[in-house]
Structure 1
Amino acid sequence: MPCVKCQSMPFISTKSGDVILSCEVPELCQKLVVFFKAKSIRYSLEDAFTMIVMVDGFKTFLESLTQTNIFNKLEKSGIRCLFLEPSQSLTPTVLRQMRTLQYYHDVMGANALALLIEKGALTTHFQPIIDLKNDTIYGYESLARGVNDDGSLVYPDTLFRWAKEGDMLFYLDRACRETSLKTAAVKNIHAKVFINFIPTAIYDPEHCLQSTVKWANQLEFDPKNIIFEVTESEYVEDLEHLSKILQFYKAQGFNVALDDVGSGYSSLTMIAKLQPDIVKIDRQIIDRIDTNPANQAVFKAIVSLAKESHICVLAEGVERVEEVAYCAANGADLAQGYYFGRPSAEPVRKL
């Protein structure tokens, strides 16, 4: 069956009317009063827990309320909202439509994300990856960006927060993979391209990854030049499922990389069980590694295990020449970080 798991985004009215706000504790109601007075928003108090707000547009009102930083996530979950158009009356049936402010916060982020994906407003920036043996560009990591109508960028932390909040990880993950391939083709990149994916967003590789494989073949990429990189690997509990995904990629001729190695206690176990083509040693291990004996010990353990299994080692997050020198002298094959170049829309062609 096709890979379909999300429902259509809830519609949020743009009409004017009344919003009933119900707070779990009176302190939240008092916070709302302060906010409304500062914004010159009309309201009336029904009691210590309830207020009615007259709004010119429900969506605009929600944007103002959900984007303020005066409420934390727990408080947003303790404020419930109900919108009534002028023609509506308050009935038990209508009351069932009341939702928390946190719910609307999540929905609006998911709506913004869905709009970016629908408009094709995702793009890719490329960060160079260096071959330490000959100081040449080995490839690039592709990193997703959203593009707003005004040209400003939406960075991955926001994109993936919206996706998690709106249960849209699969759709964003797929769109980012496909955008990476298309952008690399447009930029005429013939080096290796590292493409991130989130394993928990993929429930069946044959269905969930078929469009990615289709685009790779359609754009005539050499499969050996595509490295699919596991992100958030430290949160993967089902190693058998992750192994199944990696084996699917390998069966198509692609290479696979394990990201953030060294950041979790299970990293060495994952290397042994998953047998990736490349391991990327976490930037926290690389930071000041030339002067940090503890990090050096972790680095050498990873390199030793990788070399026994003929796995390529990539040092991630290098920012200083001393870090480059240490990694090159102690077994790293590749390196990536601001020392060599930041992510950019136009890939760096030479050092």
Structure 2
Amino acid sequence: MAFQPIIDTAAGDVWGYEALVRGAGGEGAGSILSRVAADQIYRFDQACRVKAIELAAKLFRRSDLRLSINFMPNAIYEPSACLRTTLSAARSNAFPLNAIMFEFTEREELADIAHLELIIEEYRRVGFITALDDFGAGFSGLALLANFQPDLIKVDMELVRDIDSSYARQSILAGILSIARDLRIAVLAEGVETAAEFNALKAAGVTLFQGYYFAKPAFEALPANTIALELLPEHGPIPAIA
């Protein structure tokens, strides 16, 4: 697992970290997942959760940091039973349940929307934060929000890219933010790579950010160049710190 920070500009600090699947040689999640046999997806999903929690418990030095974990809804057969391993890992590592956020991606075509609703309901009952990843680039989009509302949506990097010079992207983002406010859903912009993108998103009202502009994922470590946002220069990336 590699960790990438989520930045909260309202607080001027790190909000949490997303745990990302990586190969020992730096291979991305897509490359790794393509090697997992269909009958092993569930076991792989469970193993990733446990590894992420174990590493976060060792690496996090603040009790208020959130850990974001991706999960595959189609790999979960019965929500409460599938959570046992996660809950056991959290207890064993003294990691608070309300600091764990589970992301499900809009890019995964969901075989059963009703089943996903049951998963979200169970995760919330336990105390987890729920998030919809890659919003605006997948299969269901607004239809998913009509059926259930996660705690947070992550605006896909395709909408973020060059948003500072794209009126269409700015208009779409304004619509997403308006809907999110009405539904009391937090919004995070992912894949932010430039100061211009960051400034445009911040001006639009986004306060949660993630992307290479702030820090690249670090393998089994927290990126060394993540610092408080009050130190973030207006027109440049976060400087490295020793």
TM, length-normalised to structure 1: 0.60
Equivalent residue number for residue 162 of structure 1 = 35
2:209 equivalent to 1:335: yes
SS in 2 for 1:280: strand
Residue 186 (structure 1) aligned with residue 58 (structure 2): yes
Residues 313 and 331, structure 1, Cα contact 8 Å, conserved in 2: no
Pairwise CA distance, 1:186: 1.6
- Write the mapping of 1:25-104 to structure 2, written as runs, cut at 5 A: none
Cα separation, partners in 2 of 1:287 and 1:160, compared to 1, 3 Å? same
The structural deviation recorded for 1:159 is: 1.6
Tell me which amino acid in the other structure corresponds to 2:135: V
Which residue in the other structure is 2:186 paired with? 312
1:154 Cα offset (Å): 4.0
SS at match of 1:162: coil
Aligned twin of 2:222: 347
Pairing 1:216-235 to 2, within 5 Å after superposition: 216-235=90-109
CA RMSD of aligned residues (A): 1.7
What's the offset of the Cα at 1:187?
1.2
Shift of the 296–265 alpha-carbon distance from structure 1 to 2, 3 Å rule, reads farther
Q: Is the 8 A contact 2:177 2:187 kept in 1?
A: yes
Show structure 2 runs of 5+ residues with no match: 229-242
Cα contact 2:107–2:139 (8 A) shared by 1: no
CA distance in structure 1 between the aligned counterparts of 2:107 and 2:130, rounded to whole angstroms: 13
TM-score for the superposition, normalised by structure 2: 0.86
Alpha-carbon offset, residue 205 of structure 1: 0.9
Answer yes or no: is the 8 Å Cα contact 1:131–1:335 preserved in 2.
yes
Determine the C-alpha separation between the residues in 2 that align with 1:200 and 1:284.
24
Q: Give the number of equivalent residue pairs.
A: 223
Partner of 2:48: 176
- Aligned partners of 1:166, 1:267: CA distance in 2, in Å? 26
The residue type paired with residue 172 of structure 1 is F
Max radius of gyration: which structure?
Answer: 1
User: What SS does the corresponding residue of 1:228 show, helix, strand or coil?
Assistant: strand
Q: How many Å separate the matches in 2 of 1:276 and 1:145?
A: 26
Do the aligned residues in 1 keep the contact of 2:68 with 2:100 (CA within 8 Å)? yes
Provide the secondary structure at the position in 2 that maps to 1:251: helix
Q: What's 1:206 paired with?
A: 80
Task: Give the distance between the partners of 2:160 and 2:2, measured in 1 at CA.
Answer: 23
**Structure 1 stretches lacking a partner, 5+ long:** 1-123
Deviation digits for residues 37-64 of structure 1 (CA, Å, limit 9, x no counterpart): xxxxxxxxxxxxxxxxxxxxxxxxxxxx
Among 141, 149, 152, the residue aligned to 1:275: 149
Higher relative contact order (CA 8 A, sep 6+): 2
Checking the alignment, whether the CA contact within 8 Å between 1:126 and 1:140 is kept in structure 2 is yes
Contact 2:73 2:116 in 1 (8 A): yes
Distance 1:285 1:189 in 2: 33
- Aligned partner of 1:21 in structure 2 is none
**Whole-Å separation in 2 of the counterparts to 1:180 and 1:265:** 27
Question: In the alignment, residue 55 of structure 2 is paired with which amino acid?
Answer: T
One-letter amino acid matched to 1:239: I
Secondary structure at 1:217 match in 2: helix
The residue that corresponds to 1:139 in the other structure is 16
> Hey, what's the Cα distance between the residues in 2 that align with 1:324 and 1:188?
26
C-alpha distance in 1 between matches for 2:217 and 2:169: 26
Q: 1:272 to 1:316 in 2, by over 3 A?
A: same
1:326 maps to what in 2? Answer: 200
Query: Does structure 2 retain, via aligned residues, the 8 Å contact 1:314–1:334?
Result: yes
